[in-house]
Amino acid sequence: MFKRARPLEEKIMIVKALENGTHTISELEFIYNVRDGTIYKWVYRYEKYGIEGLKESTTWRRYSKELKLNSVKDYLSGEYSFRYVIRKHEISSDSVLRQWIKKYNGHRELKDTGKRRSSSITIGRKTTWKERIEIVQDALANGKNY
């Protein structure tokens, strides 16, 4: 099964239906083909952040090394549930915490989330028509795939 982004209106309708008591979690799962964990996540985000919490995120969240380490240790201590750790540390999704745990258990360092590197493409200099002809002829003469 693939991940399908749901329209905001549909998420609101599902959360409201559960909130009003018009449908149970099981009914909503069946009607909308959504897992119960997803519905619970939407309800939590709606209660905590309102409608903004149900909107799709368009940016990467940054996490400090300390927060990552504390989150992993909280979970591995057995004192807190997976879901509680995510909510306590306001981690964006289950998969983020799972990645940190996998790195930690693999004895790899958890680092601060930094800015993503922008790909720098070297911009070539301007060439004349004659230079371009020479480049092509040189490539063909030397067996290079132009």
Residue 7 token pair? 């329209």
Question: How far is the C-alpha of 140 from the C-alpha of 146, rounded, in Å?
Answer: 7
Dihedral over alpha carbons 82, 88, 89, 92 (to 10 degrees): 70
Q: What does residue 75 show for φ and ψ, rounded to 5 degrees?
A: -70, -45
Q: What does residue 59 show for φ and ψ, rounded to 5 degrees?
A: -125, 160
Residue 98 token pair? 């799972």
pLDDT in tens, 51-91: 988 888 777 889 999 999 999 999 999 999 998 999 899 89
pLDDT in tens, 10-30: 999 999 999 999 999 999 999
| 55 DSSP assignment | S
Question: How far is the C-alpha of 32 from the C-alpha of 70, rounded, in Å?
Answer: 36
Question: Domain locations in the chain?
Answer: 8-54, 65-105
Predicted confidence band at 143 (pLDDT cuts at 50, 70, 90)? confident
Residue 146 has pLDDT above 70, yes or no: no
Residue 110: name the closest of 144, 145, 59, 76 by CA: 76
Concatenated DSSP letters of 63-100: --HHHHHHHHHHHHTTSS-HHHHHHHTT-S-HHHHHHH
Dihedral over alpha carbons 50, 42, 19, 31 (to 10 degrees): 140
